[in-house]
Amino acid sequence: MSEPIMSFDGRVAIITGAGGGLGRSHALALAERGASIVVNDLGGALDGSGSSASAAQKVVDEINGLGGTAVPNHDSVATSEGGKAIVQAGVDAFGRVDIVINNAGILRDKAFHKMDQAMIDAVIDVHLKGAFFVTQPAFVLMREQGFGRIINTTSASGMFGNFGQANYGAAKAGLVGLTRVLSLEGASHNVKANAIAPIALTRMTEGIFGELAASFSPSSVSQLVVYLASEGCAVSGNVYSVAGERIARIITMESHGAVIDGLTPEAIGEQIGQINGPSVDELFEPRSLDEETLIIAQALSGEPS
């Protein structure tokens, strides 16, 4: 028996960075199911430079043209005033905010030894502080109304590491910590927070997937986002890898460890194997973004991993 259709009638969703790529796809998917949407986008370049009102407006026109309901917002997520204004745009247009999807993002890749402060600040400001600035005013409303869904966009780069992305990886890993704390603080108010680590063909990833590019459609990622935003969402505090039609939970685990009498660095060296724990055959621990991508590619192409 198929489940009842997930409807978002009466729900209001804010999607940051929704002028293109994944955010646009999430906005269209939620609008199609009846949610009213705030399409936020600063409209800048991939490195965060510049701005333009047309990116958000185009997606709003698209949604409204399809019979949905959306308003544009062009504030930057990277300041506290911007975050407040984005949430206020939802309240002004639709009277409430039920769903926040922190999706806005930029890249300033560089090997760590060459990364300057502007590259560190810009990336952490948009991805990590941006999620704080947008979510906090919305969280206050969500607690009061006893309903909220927060979806943060992390990355395999933050979960597993990726060369040249110290700024981005650290910001993305920070979002996992934020997600877990919000899931605890929101639990008694029916506010659920989860994170996604997507892989999708957008301007951010153009040219890097080769033959598999067609498998990585943003709309696959949006199916998970719609589920996590829904009233029936059964999970909170989780992180999901989503790439094409493969979804997996990324799990933080701890070994049973070792208790060492008279702990010394030498004793730690001797027992490092036991501290690390046995390798669990059924589990796969990616040691880099590349390793995770390889497993995904194998799974999608039907090869045994």
What are the C-alpha distances in Å from 173 to residues 89, 168, 188, 217, 233?
28, 9, 25, 24, 23
| Position among 8, 12, 15, 16 found at the interface with ligand NAD (CB under 6 A) | 16
Q: What angle do CA 59, 157, 121 make, to 5 degrees?
A: 75
Q: Is 168 a residue of the active site?
A: yes
Count interface residues toward ligand NAD (CB under 6 A).
32
Q: Which two tokens stand for residue 54?
A: 């047309």
Q: Select from 34-42, 227-235, 246-254, 264-272 the region that touches ligand NAD (CB under 6 A).
A: 34-42
Q: What is the smallest separation between the CB atom of 50 and ligand NAD, expressed in angstroms? A: 9
Candidates 168, 216, 227, 240; catalytic one? 168
Taking residue 184's Cβ as centre, other Cβ atoms within 10 Å add up to 11
Using CB under 6 A as the criterion, what x/- string covers residues 118-157 for binding ligand NAD?
A: --------x--------------------------x-x--
- Does the protein bind ligand NAD through residue 186 (CB under 6 A)? no
- Does the protein bind ligand NAD through residue 205 (CB under 6 A)? yes
Q: Select from 3-11, 98-106, 234-242, 244-252 the region that touches ligand NAD (CB under 6 A).
A: 98-106
Q: Which two tokens stand for residue 256?
A: 């049973």
Taking residue 217's Cβ as centre, other Cβ atoms within 10 Å add up to 16
- Does the protein bind ligand NAD through residue 42 (CB under 6 A)? yes
Round to whole Å and give the CA distance between 299 and 104: 29
Q: Is residue 24 within 8 Å of residue 60, measured between CB atoms?
A: no
- Does the protein bind ligand NAD through residue 55 (CB under 6 A)? yes
Burial of 37 (0-12, 13-18, 19+ CB in 10 A): buried
Taking residue 171's Cβ as centre, other Cβ atoms within 10 Å add up to 26
Footprint of ligand NAD on residues 64-83 (CB under 6 A)? 76-78
Q: Is residue 220 within 8 Å of residue 244, measured between CB atoms?
A: yes
Q: Which is nearer to ligand NAD, 17 or 90 (CB)?
A: 17
Q: What is the smallest separation between the CB atom of 63 and ligand NAD, expressed in angstroms? A: 15
Q: Which is nearer to ligand NAD, 35 or 107 (CB)?
A: 107
Q: What is the smallest separation between the CB atom of 117 and ligand NAD, expressed in angstroms? A: 18
Burial of 94 (0-12, 13-18, 19+ CB in 10 A): buried
Q: Which is nearer to ligand NAD, 147 or 167 (CB)?
A: 167
Site residues for ligand NAD per CB under 6 A: 16-17, 19-23, 40-44, 46, 48, 55, 76-78, 103-106, 126, 153, 155, 198-200, 202-205
